[in-house]
Amino acid sequence: MPELPEVETVARGLERALKGRRILSLRLNRADLRWPLPAGLADAVQAQRVVAVGRRAKYLLVHLEAGSVLLAHLGMSGRLVIGGASGDGRHDHVVITLEDGVVVRFNDARRFGLLDYAPTVAALESHPRLKGLGPEPLGNQFNGPALAASLAGKKTPLKAALLDQRVVAGLGNIYVCESLYYANLSPRRLARTVTGARAETLAQAIRDVLQRAIAAGGSSLRDYVQATGELGYFQHHWAVYGKEGKPCPGCDCGKGIRRIVQSGRSTFYCARRQR
């Protein structure tokens, strides 16, 4: 489940493999992707050199020399596999061939992911998929007061608010659970009650959790480039996510980590520590 740290890790690995290389072709293998490729995408990227690979929220941004940008979202199961075929190739929906024999496959069994395109960097800002996204949690715009302002008046549970990409961009179920744990805040708390020092603590917890995860992902970059496409981020150790019934690592309450369902998604938390 790629969230911000995983996408950041992929972006760094991709940049290392693609930067400076020219795209020779982009081939679509199946027409029934959930979000069809933009018309003319293959022609638009043809013969373009990759100048950089970046990230906005959970979107990968492949910057091309003409100033255009190829966007990729990995959804739940999406991967960008560098090199050999991924598995039996059944889910290699898009294959991009570059100079020097470099091949990137957009492989996505569940097809929740997507590719998109912005003709210019200026258009990127107002691209339908990026417009309306909240601040980057690791950027300068994100801090306690900004987070409190976004949560002000919100009657939804804090958990749901943090999953809203308009509030803060790039968090998914895992890192929301982890951040709330380290901030000692209950996922059930009304979002609008998070102000002042609480918002400051939460903003800092979000940044810390993400930075630690990126650091861990960075150490497995070598694995990422392998033909298997494995990222290694499944080996992350979480404090609460997926830990139902396990002891809370931060207190001796004995009741352990609880799992509840909010908005149809699992939430993991310590009911004693998180208030």
Partner DNA sequence: CTTTCGTCCTGACTGC
Partner DNA sequence: TGCAGTCAGGACGAAA
**Catalytic option among 2, 135, 137, 187:** 2
What is the per-residue binding string for DNA in 27-56, x denoting contact by CB under 7 A?
A: -----x-x----------------------
C-beta of 97 vs 165, nearer to DNA: 165
Q: Which of residues 59-98 bind DNA (CB under 7 A)?
A: 59, 73, 75-77, 90-91
On whether the CB atoms of residues 60 and 224 are closer than 8 A, the answer is no
| 187 noted as active-site residue | no
**Catalytic option among 55, 58, 198, 258:** 58
Structure-token pair, residue 156: 């939804």
265-269 and 50-56 strand pairing: unpaired
- Contact between 153 and DNA per CB under 7 A: yes
SS3 state of residue 13: helix
First to last CA, the chain: 27
Give the distance from CA 130 to its chain's centroid.
13
- Contact between 252 and DNA per CB under 7 A: no
What is the per-residue binding string for DNA in 102-131, x denoting contact by CB under 7 A?
A: -------xxxx---------------xx--
Q: How many residues bind DNA (CB under 7 A)?
A: 35
In sequence order, which residues have a C-beta less than 8 Å from that of residue 231 and are 6 or more positions away?
Answer: 2, 6, 9, 10, 79, 217, 220, 223, 224
In sequence order, which residues have a C-beta less than 8 Å from that of residue 95 and are 6 or more positions away?
Answer: 26, 27, 29, 103, 104, 105, 106
Would you tell me which residues interact with DNA (CB under 7 A)? 1, 3, 32, 34, 57-59, 73, 75-77, 90-91, 109-112, 128-129, 153-157, 160, 163, 165, 172-174, 261, 263-266
What residues are labeled active site? 2-3, 58, 265
